[in-house]
Amino acid sequence: MIELKPRVFSGMQPTGSLHLGNYLGALINWVAMQKTHECIYCVVDLHAITAEWLEPEELRQSIRRAAAAYIACGIDPKSSILFNQSQVTEHAELAWIFNCVARLGWLNRMTQFKEKAGKDRENASVGLYAYPNLMAADILVYRGTHVPVGEDQKQHLELARDIAQKFNNDWREAIVAKGYADGMFFPQPEPIILGPATRVMSLRDGTKKMSKSDPSDLSRINLTDDAEAIARKIQRAKTDPDALPSEPKGLEGRPEADNLTGIYAALAGTTQEAVLKEFGGGQFSTFKKALADVAVAKLAPITSEMTRLSADPAEIDRILADGARRARAIAHPILNEVKDIVGFVRS
Ligand code: TRP
């Protein structure tokens, strides 16, 4: 029997700049998983052209900036594979095959498409609609088994599982003939949603996700913000007039208090309960000073490493090229097997 190795795959779009939400919601987990798994991390530039297009030079800069952020946060491009999606054409090739596996009805249920397309659905790109099929291909072209993602990607992961299962079922005979006795050519990739602050909310409104598209820069802490900017944004973060509660149940109906103490816990590597025990009963102003201190201590080294890397785009391009070469070495033989299973002639 052919054994499936555990393999982590995840990706993030290069549009805009990365912020605290990306760090605590995703990157911190990506970094941690390097210790225990083989990891493949991808800047998903093919996904980045499904909605508004950036100027070509701006897109290139964003791809490099995303790669720099991953490295600055602790992704080791030697032990892990770090690359940009468009350099490994196997993703797009498998996505086409998955376009023919997934059903319209499945994609019609995707809430992210509905949100992103909004009222003007007729004018959304076909790529935006088929986006989840490409995402499934990203993972399955490596036969990825574990996918650290944010809460909002769960539905897309379910779709990837459905695609894997339908592919395995529909081509079962060919798959078994290839030596997969149990018919499991593609694994069922599992979402890994970890961390106390998987949902980091806006600093201006504790009910909205921290987002790179929020027009107010005060709503988020960017990974490029310097110590002064970080402290200022925390100082000006929205709060409510009451003192902090001493227990998590006191956070009900207080989204800003919940968000800020959650961020503190995640940055300090402790629990929200412990944070509330320490700061409960106190004023927000005292807590905010402490929060600014941990945030600066944690994020300042990331910012300075990003600045250092950004000064040398050629070095980033070399890292991405090396990652792409190693990614292709895994994806190419898997895609060849898919071609055999489906019945394409290849040389
Ligand atoms: N859709 C993901 C997001 O917006 C990014 C992504 C693309 C991804 N391909 C992926 C995440 C594969 C995990 C695995 O966050």
Q: 303-312: per-residue pLDDT in tens?
A: 899 989 989 9
Average pLDDT, the chain: 93
Compute the distance from residue 12 Cα to the ligand 1 centre, in Å: 5
CB neighbourhood size of 76 (10 A):
12
Catalytic site includes residue 116: yes
Q: Quick one: DSSP state of residue 201?
A: B
pLDDT tens digit string along 17-70? Answer: 789 988 888 888 899 999 999 999 999 999 999 998 999 999 999 999 999 999
> Which pLDDT score, from 0 to 100, does residue 212 have?
84
Q: Who lines ligand 1 at CB under 6 A?
A: 9-13, 44, 47, 135, 138-139, 147, 149, 153, 156
What CATH number matches the domain at 8-193+313-342, 3.40.50.620, 1.10.3720.10, 3.30.565.10, 3.40.50.2000?
3.40.50.620
Whether 184 shows a pLDDT value over 90: the answer reads yes
Q: What percent of the chain has pLDDT over 90?
A: 86
Whether 1 shows a pLDDT value over 80: the answer reads no
> Which pLDDT score, from 0 to 100, does residue 16 have?
66
CATH says 217-308 is which class? mainly alpha
pLDDT tens digit string along 113-153? Answer: 999 999 999 999 999 999 999 999 999 999 999 999 888 89
How many Å apart are CA 69 and CA 206, to the nearest integer? 25
> Which pLDDT score, from 0 to 100, does residue 29 have?
87
How many Å apart are CA 308 and CA 65, to the nearest integer? 11
> Which pLDDT score, from 0 to 100, does residue 3 have?
56
> Which pLDDT score, from 0 to 100, does residue 4 have?
60
Whether 147 and 192 have beta carbons less than 8 Å apart is answered as yes
Ligand 1, from 13, 43, 131, 135: best to mutate by most atoms within 8 Å of Cβ? Answer: 135
Q: CATH 3.40.50.620 spans which residues of the chain?
A: 8-193+313-342
Q: Residue 207 — very low, low, confident or very high, per pLDDT cuts 50/70/90?
A: very high
> Which pLDDT score, from 0 to 100, does residue 146 have?
96
Q: CATH 1.10.240.10 spans which residues of the chain?
A: 217-308
Task: State the DSSP H helix or E strand holding residue 10, giving kind and residue range, or none if neither.
Answer: strand 7-12
Catalytic site includes residue 289: no
Ligand 1, from 8, 10, 110: best to mutate by most atoms within 8 Å of Cβ? Answer: 10
> Which pLDDT score, from 0 to 100, does residue 193 have?
83
Whether 252 shows a pLDDT value over 60: the answer reads yes
Catalytic site includes residue 178: no
Catalytic residue among 166, 178, 212, 238: 212
> Which pLDDT score, from 0 to 100, does residue 254 have?
96
DSSP 3-state of 91: helix
Angle, helices 272-279/255-268, rounded to nearest 10 degrees: 110
Q: How many CA atoms lie within 13 A of 121 on its CB side?
A: 9
> Which pLDDT score, from 0 to 100, does residue 2 have?
57
Whether 231 shows a pLDDT value over 70: the answer reads yes
